[in-house]
Structure 1
Amino acid sequence: MAIYLNDHYAGATGGLELFRRAAQARTDGAGGTVLADLAQQVEDDRDALADIMADLGVPTSQSKAAMGWLAEKAGRLKPNGHILSRSPLSDLLEAESMLLGVSGKAACWRTLRILAESDERLPSDRLDTLLERAEQQSAALEELRSTAASRTLAQPSTTQ
């Protein structure tokens, strides 16, 4: 259980960095506002996971969290033809990455919800709320993703 939860905590740490970076990079009002709100929610979710871990007596592994943070930084290094600026594909790829992260988080909440049936240390109501929020986050990200896909890939280009 400790390994499972710490792996999710590391993923949440990397995901939080991605959400923050994506929110700061978006200069359009609506998308940036949505991402800033989602970044705050993702931080709250990571804190909720840490609280659940504490309730279960599972310490957070700072080394794993650091690896999640570093993995997000390493994910920025890709040959996309833009060294110092954002690629036209950045919004799309980031939205897809964030969607994958939220999907993984939702899977963790579902797993813990199953375990809550036999472990009173796991807060069923809180897990239900976290799962609902993950579903709302997925819907918001899908809207951003589809907008970015239409905007980016509908344009004829050989470098995207």
Structure 2
Amino acid sequence: NFVIIPSADVAIVALSNATPAGIPETLTAEFADLVQFGEVREDWRKLYGDAFAGMSDPEGALVGKSPPADPAPAQPLSAYVGTYRNDYWGPATVAEKDGRLTVTLGPRPDTFELTHRDGDVFTFGFQTENAPPGTISAATFKGDALTLEYFDDDKMGTFTK
């Protein structure tokens, strides 16, 4: 975050590698108040804290929703196993081990355990700087396609076998 005040011939830059919480923005806003008015005139920490609060909410359409009381059964797990391709994200490999499914993707690679939810819908949870704690992604199988909800914001999260 940066603020430039040409009339005072001053500028401030605040950089952070932390979770978005409004701290750099608060610092630069308070600095600007002090330069221009000689005092901090707003509760910038609260204003920015409130503005950034939603960024720490878990992601996913299923967050906070209970699984169905009587879910439809999944197909035999072997029906889902294979490599699914996606031009944007690269391959996603679904594997079965000890009666459980996993999906692996990315250059690291990252592996997520899939939990059956209903029919051909599974879920996986994970946490990254963009997926706050409690994030749940649906993994929906439909024919030869696998759609990973978390990776589908721009409708680019469907992988094809």
Does TM, scored on the shorter chain, surpass 0.5?
Answer: no
Which category of TM-score, normalised to the shorter sequence, fits these structures? under 0.3
More helix by share: 1
**If you compute each CA radius of gyration, which structure gives the higher value, 1 or 2?**
2
Higher-RCO chain (CA-CA 8 Å, sequence separation at least 6):
1
When the two structures are superposed, what TM-score results if normalisation uses the length of structure 1? 0.26
When the two structures are superposed, what TM-score results if normalisation uses the length of structure 2? 0.26
More strand by share: 2
